[in-house]
Amino acid sequence: MEKDNTYFGVKEIARRANVSIATVDRVIHNRTGVSEKTKKKINEIIKALDYQPNILASRLASRKIISLAVLLPKVSPETDFWEAPLKGIDRAQQEIKKYGVQVTTFLFDLNDHNSFNEQTKLILEGTFNGVLMAPSFVEEARGFVKACNKLKIPFTFIDSDIPDQENLTYIGPHLFQSGYVGAKLLTYRLKEKHKVLVVNISKDTDTYNYLQIEEGFRSYFKDHNLPGEIIRVDIKDTDSLSVTRDLKRILHTHEDIEAIFVTNSRVSAVASFLEKNKRGDISLIGYDFLKENVRYLNEGLIDFLICHKPEEQGYRGLMALYQTLVLGTAVEKVHFMPIDIITRENQAFYQN
Amino acid sequence: MEKDNTYFGVKEIARRANVSIATVDRVIHNRTGVSEKTKKKINEIIKALDYQPNILASRLASRKIISLAVLLPKVSPETDFWEAPLKGIDRAQQEIKKYGVQVTTFLFDLNDHNSFNEQTKLILEGTFNGVLMAPSFVEEARGFVKACNKLKIPFTFIDSDIPDQENLTYIGPHLFQSGYVGAKLLTYRLKEKHKVLVVNISKDTDTYNYLQIEEGFRSYFKDHNLPGEIIRVDIKDTDSLSVTRDLKRILHTHEDIEAIFVTNSRVSAVASFLEKNKRGDISLIGYDFLKENVRYLNEGLIDFLICHKPEEQGYRGLMALYQTLVLGTAVEKVHFMPIDIITRENQAFYQN
DNA sequence: CTGAAAGCGCTTACAG
DNA sequence: CTGAAAGCGCTTACAG
């Protein structure tokens, strides 16, 4: 049970370089106040010894704390999707708080662009070392990102991406491919000549997200030369009455719709409609492992749920900041989540 | 950037109890040599302060190292399945080696029961604090487990379980349900009245594993009253010639087989056969995200792969030992892996 | 530009 | 049964 002592630390480096460990510390952290000569000598020894700093000792000795800000949509009664990333963030926090990492959460209202700006203002007023955010409002997020860049605060995107920003990393789904998978799954339940409905239930229907998913969805049919028709409907009022009204109208106009693809987690609203109107014959696919959705999955009203590990997105997003700020190691610029397929049969063991 | 000092450590406990920190340390670790009276007093203070030990400081100060043994099948040319758990173990090791955890790997030959015994003997001769193992050979594993129990060495199972052992935890698939999912997926490609072939390619065909999977598979058809026939074949010689010979014979006898379910990762052998014999019309489902399998998935010869996150099994298995031995926290007795469904469309983003 | 010393929150002999 | 002291591998003022 003895530790092998082939290990070399700052002490050994200092001994070999004929300097004090304080000077070694300065070189390791690229601090000023060391002559080029000794700096070079020390760096050579570090390389020769393949020195790996002991993070435990480092974090223990340094009384610094690292403050991270998390900016996410509020969990709403309409969809509790955002619970999952928050849970992942919490898990990460539990894991790294011993290294002196502190997390403050800021929540905005998905129905109110202005609330996003209010929260970002609060973040900028604080003194945070890094930011994890869901850039749900593209324009507003762009402005915030600019401010972060100016302050040299690193930031991470989860859930959706904004191209060409200096974000540390994006952790989330490949939306196009996810829609592609959705189409593939739907074809299992389709006749030769399909008539399919794409439903988008959201206040911001023109969001980059949904367009990407739909494009992927349509591409599958195109790539495989599947004959038929894809109808789409935007439902901007997300309350159940509006959804019911709009769906009723559509299904009345297009009686022969065989399948519905919902581009987000509101699929339970459609499932509820199908149940009430005894249209269990229509195949239904949508997004996210929410309680309501899983209930309809188990009742057979939803055929498949697609899910992009929202909890893991939160976990990894925070860990990415930890890695750069504490460990100083590199992180990939993009990390796509798996496109998980959930059915009634495998749902019991799904890990968000 | 200052650490908040609402934190209480051994020093504060000692001050309040009017003892030295050494005595506090004794109580924290349940060591002998403390009077009942002071012990009680210290424990009360610990509770009142909700004291959380600083693991960093603890591991840094303690020069102890913890030795773990890993016992897995060798990666064979026939299937590189076992690469994944090893990778996960490696990742866990990288993460916890800073806490003084050392891992030694022992590999046995899946074609040779005796090699398992040889390796367990080596493990028992060493001085390990914990064991992570795949109990592929049930009888042999039982014997080894008995020895571990006698030495009070905690052990963890991954990939397959042996019921009623004193294992710390089992981390792996729910095999019955996995077969059930396989059947469900297969039905998407089936006509009204099905004729399905279950293929088991393995030297040990009577293994608990395969029986469980097959039972789940059959149960789906039973539960849903699907009419038809399920044929099964055991292929004990796993080389490609034998596989070809046996499959040829079966498909000759049963010309109307529509779909094949392979109970393990050797599904690529069947795919290869179907390709050569121009039987791409037959649906095919099998296990595991191996390079060969994914190739056939992309070529459309395999319809679905089912996968149980082998890498994560290795990772979590090792972390479970770390949690009990280093952190002293509890772990669940069973942790079932998700039953992942992989298609050509979502394979690019799969995480093992 | 550099070093001596104190300290992070624990553990570990050693002494009594 | 208990305590004083050294030490784990770093970081941080402070002094020069």
- For residues A330 and A308, the answer to whether their CB atoms sit within 8 Å is no
**Per the domain annotation, does A36 fall within a domain?**
yes
Residues with Cβ < 8 Å from A182, sequence gap 6 or more?
A213, A216, A217, A261, A285, A304, A306
Q: Is B149 on the interface with A (CB under 8 A)?
A: no
Same domain, yes or no: B109 and B230: no
Has residue B98 got a pLDDT over 80?
A: no
Q: Do A1 and B60 touch (CB under 8 A)?
A: no
Nucleotide nearest to A64 (CA to C1'): D11
Same domain, yes or no: A133 and A20: no
In the prediction, which pLDDT does B75 show? 92
Place of tokens 């798996």: A338
Q: Which of B55, B181, B345 sits opposite A346 (nearest CB)?
A: B181
Distance CA A220, CA A183 (A): 6
Q: Which of A57, A336, A344 sits opposite B60 (nearest CB)?
A: A57
Distance CA A143, CA A124 (A): 12
Predicted confidence band of residue B155 (pLDDT cuts 50, 70, 90): very high
Q: Is B99 on the interface with A (CB under 8 A)?
A: yes
| pLDDT means over runs of 10, chain A (352 residues) | 60 90 91 88 90 84 88 88 96 84 94 94 94 94 95 94 93 96 92 88 77 95 91 90 94 93 95 95 96 96 97 96 83 94 97 87
Same domain, yes or no: A73 and A156: yes
CATH number at residue B195: 3.40.50.2300
Same domain, yes or no: A165 and A279: no
Distance CA B302, CA B311 (A): 22
**Per the domain annotation, does B303 fall within a domain?**
yes
Distance CA A202, CA A190 (A): 26
CA distances to A9, A16, A27, A340, B202 from A33, rounded to whole Å, are 21, 20, 9, 53, 67
CA distances to A224, A308, B293 from A341, rounded to whole Å, are 21, 9, 19
Higher pLDDT residue, B50 or B275? Answer: B275
Same domain, yes or no: A42 and A163: no
Average pLDDT over residues B92-116: 90
Q: Which tens digit of pLDDT belongs to each residue from B10-47?
A: 988 998 999 999 999 999 888 888 888 899 999 999 99
Residues with Cβ < 8 Å from B172, sequence gap 6 or more?
B157, B158, B159, B160, B161, B308, B313, B336, B337
Has residue B246 got a pLDDT over 70?
A: yes
Tokens read off for A76: 């709403």
Decide: CB of B37 under 7 A of nucleic strand D.
yes
Q: Do B346 and A346 touch (CB under 8 A)?
A: no
Q: How many CB pairs under 8 A join A and B?
A: 104
Decide: CB of A36 under 7 A of nucleic strand C.
yes
Same domain, yes or no: A180 and A266: yes
CA of A224 to C1' of C7 (A): 68
Q: Residues of B with CB below 8 A from A346's CB? A: 177, 181, 338-341
B132 has which bridge partners? B70, B156
Decide: CB of A25 under 7 A of nucleic strand D.
yes
Distance CA B327, CA B100 (A): 12
Average pLDDT over residues B70-90: 92
DSSP A276-341: HTT-TTSEEEEE---HHHHHHHHHTS--EEEE--HHHHHHHHHHHHHIIIII-----SEEEPP-EE
**Per the domain annotation, does A3 fall within a domain?**
no
- For residues A96 and A326, the answer to whether their CB atoms sit within 8 Å is yes
For helices A310-322 and A83-96, the axis angle rounded to 10 degrees is 40
- For residues A116 and A132, the answer to whether their CB atoms sit within 8 Å is no
State the DSSP H helix or E strand holding residue B71, giving kind and residue range, or none if neither. strand B66-73
* C-alpha count within 13 angstroms, C-beta hemisphere, residue A86: 13
Q: Do B343 and A181 touch (CB under 8 A)?
A: yes
**Per the domain annotation, does A223 fall within a domain?**
yes
Decide: CB of B14 under 7 A of nucleic strand C.
no
Same domain, yes or no: A217 and A197: yes
Has residue B165 got a pLDDT over 50?
A: yes
List the one residue out of A328, A344, A352 whose CA is nearest residue A154. A328
**Per the domain annotation, does B194 fall within a domain?**
yes
Residue B44: alpha-carbon gap to chain centroid:
40
In the prediction, which pLDDT does A338 show? 95
Q: Do B181 and A345 touch (CB under 8 A)?
A: yes
Tokens read off for B329: 């926290």
Same domain, yes or no: A302 and A257: yes
Helix ranges, chain B (H): 10-17, 21-28, 36-49, 55-61, 83-96, 113-125, 138-150, 175-187, 208-223, 240-253, 267-276, 291-299, 310-322
A307 has which bridge partners? A340
CA of A103 to C1' of D1 (A): 44
**Per the domain annotation, does B346 fall within a domain?**
no
In the prediction, which pLDDT does B109 show? 92
Q: Do A338 and B345 touch (CB under 8 A)?
A: no
Q: Is A73 helix (H, G, I), strand (E, B) or coil?
A: strand
For the four alpha carbons of A70, A76, A79 and A80, in that order, the dihedral sign comes to positive
In the prediction, which pLDDT does A328 show? 74
In the prediction, which pLDDT does B116 show? 95
CA distances to A92, A242, B202, B346 from B289, rounded to whole Å, are 28, 44, 18, 12
Residue type, A311: E
Q: Which of residues 45-74 of B touch strand D (CB under 7 A)?
A: 57, 60-61, 63
**Parent domain of A129:** 66-173+310-337
How many domains is chain A partitioned into structurally?
3
Nucleotide nearest to B38 (CA to C1'): D1
Same domain, yes or no: A29 and A92: no
Sheet containing A194-201, strands listed edge to edge, beginning at the edge strand earlier in sequence = A228-235, A194-201, A259-262, A283-287, A304-307, A340-342
In the prediction, which pLDDT does B1 show? 35
Same domain, yes or no: A123 and A179: no
Same domain, yes or no: A193 and A274: yes
In the prediction, which pLDDT does A30 show? 86
Compute the radius of gyration of chain B from its Cα atoms: 25
Same domain, yes or no: A329 and A272: no
CATH number at residue A32: 1.10.260.40
DSSP A219-255: HHHHHTT--EEEEEEEE---SHHHHHHHHHHHHHH-T
In the prediction, which pLDDT does A269 show? 95
**Per the domain annotation, does B1 fall within a domain?**
no
Q: Is A5 on the interface with B (CB under 8 A)?
A: no
Q: Which of A185, A336, A349 sits opposite B174 (nearest CB)?
A: A349
Question: Three-state SS across B236-269?
Answer: CCCCHHHHHHHHHHHHHHCCCCCEEEECCCCHHH
**Per the domain annotation, does A60 fall within a domain?**
no
Q: Is A177 on the interface with B (CB under 8 A)?
A: yes
Chain B 325-344, residues with CB within 8 Å of chain A CB atoms: 336-341, 343-344
